Chains A and B, each alone.
Chain A
Amino acid sequence: MATHAAHHDDHDHKPGFVDRWFFGTNHKDIGTLYLLFSLLMFFIGGSMALIIRAELFIPGMQIVNPEFFNQMTTVHALVMIFGAVMPAFVGLGNWMIPLMIGAPDMALPRMNNWSFWILPFAFLMLLSTLFMDGGGPAGGWTLYPPLSLQGGNSMPFVIFAIHMMGISSIMGAINIIATILNLRAPGMDLLKMPVFVWTWLITAFLLIAVMPVLAGAVTMLLTDKFFLTSFFNAAGGGDPVMYQHIFWFFGHPEVYIMILPAFGVVSEIIPTFARKPLFGYQAMVYATASIAFLSFIVWAHHMFTVGMPLGGELFFMYATMLIAIPTGVKVFNWVSTMWKGSMTFETPMLFALGFVVMFTIGGFSGLMLAIVPADFQYHDTYFVVAHFHYVLVTGAVFSIMAAAYYWLPKWTGVMYSETLGKWHFWLSTFFVNLLFFPQHFLGLAGMPRRIPDYNIAFSDFNMWSSIGGFGFGLSQLLFAWIVIKSARGHGPRATAQVWEGAKGLEWTVPSPAPHHTFTTPPVIDDRVLAHGDVTH
């Protein structure tokens, strides 16, 4: 009924299944959909990774042909980036941002639902290419021309799938910005917002700034292939390297899109379990903004070896190294938050600590890669693979796990099993290091990425890595089991505050959070805020 539009009259009556999950506007339901979708994609992308690791278990060709292997590396990346990590953070943002700022919902709830529902169709399209003539895309997720223009029928489908993901991300980001800027409860000043909200505000800005650039880049690929243009064709005055510049102008902010919300999550969790306010709240906010700014002027460090003028190499090298400063501020502040805190080590804290240690390892290898002459050796080797998996798996994914354990009691109303959670953490941490740490050595020894076969000199490390891969993959089944158990309501009841040291508006509503919260603005009490009143 079109006129049935008031805010609080479905407080009591439950919407039907279709109305709730397909036509819904509730930020919690849509957040749940995002998170479940992300979990599904995590397992699909993970299965592809296991195919890769199975093939690389020993040298020689055993399981898949090289063409399919290349499809796996390409689609694994696209699925994990656009299907697993980004939707997970959007899901967390959907669930938690309104709860953290005292808003009743997202600012544009129907568009929110559209942002989500585009994704399953986009991934249906992307994954369907694996079954087409010529198979899926096989030229790497970056879709560099001319290689990406030489594939089979999959090319236009992949590009349109990327367009759809972009539309979804842009709408999601617009929604998050409008929510944060417009729907904060009175008294929730910008510099009183939880850091997670801050990081999402900046991330949303990055998304709106760069997703359209990606759309432009892949549109040029499409017209080069089908409509006779010469953007990336040197014979016509274009340049394949131009694609790389445009792509990485998107691509580098994109990697921060996947890590800034992770910083936010960790900045929420560590104070809770150290039972101390976050050290240097404002510094955290400014550091996040600095990283976001720098992300726009470092893109060409992904392409040091393509033949850039020396001035370009130097500029991008130094600009990249600058990022270590705000990132260092963050790591310093997390450690200082724990300093003399009364710490306990529940599962979310374990994952957050794992994040701090292992993300920093990834940050250091990033610094190594930033050095131009060294990068000439590392470029396109397993060292790069090791680097970005440390920041994305033990970084972004670990923070998502941490967030899931941290807020699961708020979402489901029951405590998960701490024993199982700790098992999950320790198994994941052991195996993920077995999986990725040896890849540093492989890369330094010269093993290139994206190959299905290798010199026998690389055998041992690859075998370890594959064992780690299967161990890590199987450990995630434990996570799925823990989530399903909680979602079905098995476990001891959770209190509203859930964690002894937890502060912030989200802990003032009951667990599970009622379907509608803050339908009237809450009164902000600085003492219950995560960071207190930092402006005084």
Chain B
Amino acid sequence: MANHAPDQNIYYVPHGSKWPLVGSIGLFLLVGGFANLMNGNRTLGLPMTLAGVAIMLVMLYGWFGNVITESVRGFYNRQVGTSFRMGMIWFIFSEVMFFAAFFGALFYARMLSVPWLGGEGDGVATNAFLWQGFEPAWPSNGPQSIGGEFGLIPAWSVPLLNTLILLTSGVTLTIAHHALKAGNRAQLLIWLGVTVLLGCVFLFYQAEEYIHAYRDLNLTLGSGVYGSTFFMLTGFHGLHVTLGTIMLAVIWFRCLKGHFTKDDHFGFEAVAWYWHFVDVVWLALFLFVYVL
């Protein structure tokens, strides 16, 4: 069928697709492979994981490619756009709740479990009999100093720099968005490109920080509950920045190909929302993990 204008009055229901099933198989192999690797079964785990990764990549490429083709050919009407937007908003909300679980762990450890181990409230018995004289303080790796002595990353060094980088990237992304709305392609590509670069710089500094923490400070994932919360929060955030940067890069190429119009650029918007979400999570991290 040739390019036909979307009908705003008639509902749009897409045709079938093999990608959901392919994605399920890929996900199964991926996590099944991981699980085998964790159990020390490399002969089964490694090929399963690799196959899972490969199938997931093919699925993402195929599925997104399919949707992009349909979108560019003008099959989608406004209602489809709204559904996509709602999907993205609620997906980001689910991500917020995922981070909430780890922030909850951080607050619980700092405000309840460590003080209790020091004899406060209901923890008197533990302190009196099991770990006598444990002095609660934050940061803590617990009464048995799990992971040994460790140093801290000062908030007002690289983390501050990374905060500024992410905040700037939010601004450059907004400038790019305004350029897109104004139909200014050169500006769009430049500022979106700068955003991608800032994402990469952030990741570079975070990697440096991790290396520094592991090599020089003995601050590791195994450094008691401080190391656990520190690395799980910053690590999952870093994973999201990585994903966001890849998504921004994809959007940059799509801008280059001219996929987006002034009024219709959901792909751009969705990634921008995602980027701002990652940004906000970082601000919370900076405050609660580094500063306070």
Contact = CB atoms under 8 A, between A and B. Distances in A.
A7 B93 contact: no
A116 B84 CA distance: 19
A32 B80 CA distance: 24
Interface stretch (B106-114, B155-163, B201-209): B106-114
Contacts of B113: 234, 237-239, 241-242
B261 interface: no
A230 B146 contact: yes
Interface string B95-135: 10111111011001100111011000110001000010000
B1 A3 contact: yes
A236 B147 contact: yes
Interface stretch (B22-30, B167-175, B192-200, B281-289): B22-30
Nearest to A242: B108
Contact of A239 (B31, B116, B226, B227): B116
Contacts of A236: 141-142, 144, 146-147, 224-225, 228
Contacts of A5: 1, 14-15, 70, 75
Nearest to A306: B122
A129 to B, nearest CB: 9
A103 interface: yes
B108 A239 contact: yes
Specify the main secondary structure of chain B where it touches its partner: helix
Contacts of B102: 216, 220
Contact of B90 (A160, A208, A309): A208
A45 B97 CA distance: 30
Contacts of B18: 22-23
A433 interface: no
A519 B13 CA distance: 9
A309 B111 CA distance: 13
Interface string A1-12: 011111110100
A237 B11 contact: no
A173 B89 CA distance: 12
Contacts of A107: 83, 86-87
A230 B14 contact: no
B270 interface: no
Interface stretch (A162-170, A282-290, A468-476): A162-170
A518 B17 CA distance: 22
A111 B1 CA distance: 24
Given A121-B27, A125-B28, A212-B95, A238 B228 contact: yes
B83 A231 contact: no
A116 B28 CA distance: 13
Interface stretch (B33-41, B180-188, B246-254): B33-41
Interface stretch (A142-150, A175-183, A387-395, A439-447): A175-183
B13 A210 contact: no
B75 A228 contact: no
A157 interface: yes
Contacts of B238: none
A164 B28 contact: yes
A38 interface: no
Interface in A1-34: 2-8, 10, 15, 19-20, 22-25
B221 A307 contact: no
A6 B12 CA distance: 7
Given A15-B16, A108-B87, A212 B32 contact: no
A105 interface: yes
B221 A309 contact: no
A174 B88 CA distance: 9
Interface centre among A22, A220, A230, A519 (most CB of B within 10 A): A230
Interface centre among A220, A228, A308, A518 (most CB of B within 10 A): A228
Nearest to A215: B98
A318 B228 CA distance: 34
Nearest to B76: A5
A116 B1 CA distance: 30
A235 B20 contact: no
Contacts of B121: 309
A347 to B, nearest CB: 33
A114 B20 contact: yes
Nearest to B80: A107
A156 interface: yes
Contacts of B91: 170, 174
B222 interface: yes
B143 interface: yes
B11 A110 contact: no
B10 interface: yes
A114 B114 CA distance: 43
A160 B31 contact: yes
B11 A519 contact: yes
A109 interface: yes
A229 B35 CA distance: 17
Interface centre among A15, A113, A167, A222 (most CB of B within 10 A): A113
B232 A220 contact: yes
A78 B287 CA distance: 38
Contacts of A222: 38
Given A25-B17, A212-B95, A235-B144, A156 B35 contact: yes
B55 to A, nearest CB: 12
Contact of A153 (B10, B39, B99): B39
B277 interface: no
Given A7-B10, A118-B24, A212-B94, 13 more contacts: A4-B1, A122-B28, A164-B28, A209-B94, A211-B94, A213-B98, A213-B101, A223-B232, A233-B225, A234-B117, A235-B131, A246-B104, A249-B104
When A and B form their complex, which 5 residue pairs have the shortest distance between CB atoms, in order from nearest?
A216-B101, A237-B142, A228-B222, A236-B146, A114-B20
9 contacts: A2-B66, A2-B70, A5-B1, A174-B90, A178-B90, A228-B222, A230-B222, A237-B142, A519-B10
